[in-house]
Amino acid sequence: MRTQIGIASAAIAIIAASSAQAASPQIEKNISMGLAQEIVAGVIEECAKNSYKVSVVVVDKAGQVAASLRGDGTSPATMEFARMKAYTARVRNQTSLEFMNLTASGDAQALRQIPGVAAIGGGVPIKSGAETIGGVGVSGAPGGEKDEACAKAALARISASLN
């Protein structure tokens, strides 16, 4: 009888300990729909200051599209390029322009074989502190550096929301 009580007490202690762990889950930071929409609107506004017609894609922590918008007068290809730039920024944790420069020569060129990445400017990682929680890609301005500048300016405007 005492053995059964001891086993039952041990089982209850294990269950209680696992319940305590389950009660305090880790909260994963990610891109909300509202934040994704803010980023898209900010990029469009920044690029419009220079009369750039662009498309914008925001991907979440998993690299999945959270929001996208094809700008008036843009080529249909800008949507796919923007998605690839955002994905590159997310999975590489660096701008797609930095990725382009990194993979320009040598053994690093093999990284361009990763499906879905783009070695051209316009993708910027979205960070909460040191953690990359998404990426934004912009396509359509006259040059990847200009796409990237719009993305960085939009992220700077909402930086308080990321921490």
Query: What is the chain's mean pLDDT, rounded?
Result: 89
Instruction: Give the pLDDT band of residue 163 (cuts 50, 70, 90).
Output: confident
End-to-end CA distance of the chain: 56
- Bridge partners, residue 126, by sequence: 134
The predicted structure's pLDDT at residue 27: 76
150 pLDDT higher than 90: yes
pLDDT more than 90, % of the chain: 80
Q: Which residues contact 87 (CB under 8 A, 6 or more apart)?
A: 59, 63, 116, 117, 118, 123, 135, 137
What is the pTM (predicted TM-score) of this model?
Answer: 0.83
The predicted structure's pLDDT at residue 8: 55
Distance between CA atoms of residues 102 and 81, nearest Å = 19
Return the structure tokens found at 72. 């008036």
162 pLDDT higher than 90: no
For residues 120-125, average pLDDT? 98
Upper half-sphere CA count for residue 62 (Cβ side, 13 Å): 5
For residues 46-66, average pLDDT? 97
Of 54 and 8, which is predicted with more confidence? 54
For residue 66, what is the enclosing H or E element?
strand 65-70
Return the structure tokens found at 129. 């502190």
- The SS3 of residue 128 is strand
The predicted structure's pLDDT at residue 91: 97
Instruction: Give the pLDDT band of residue 11 (cuts 50, 70, 90).
Output: low
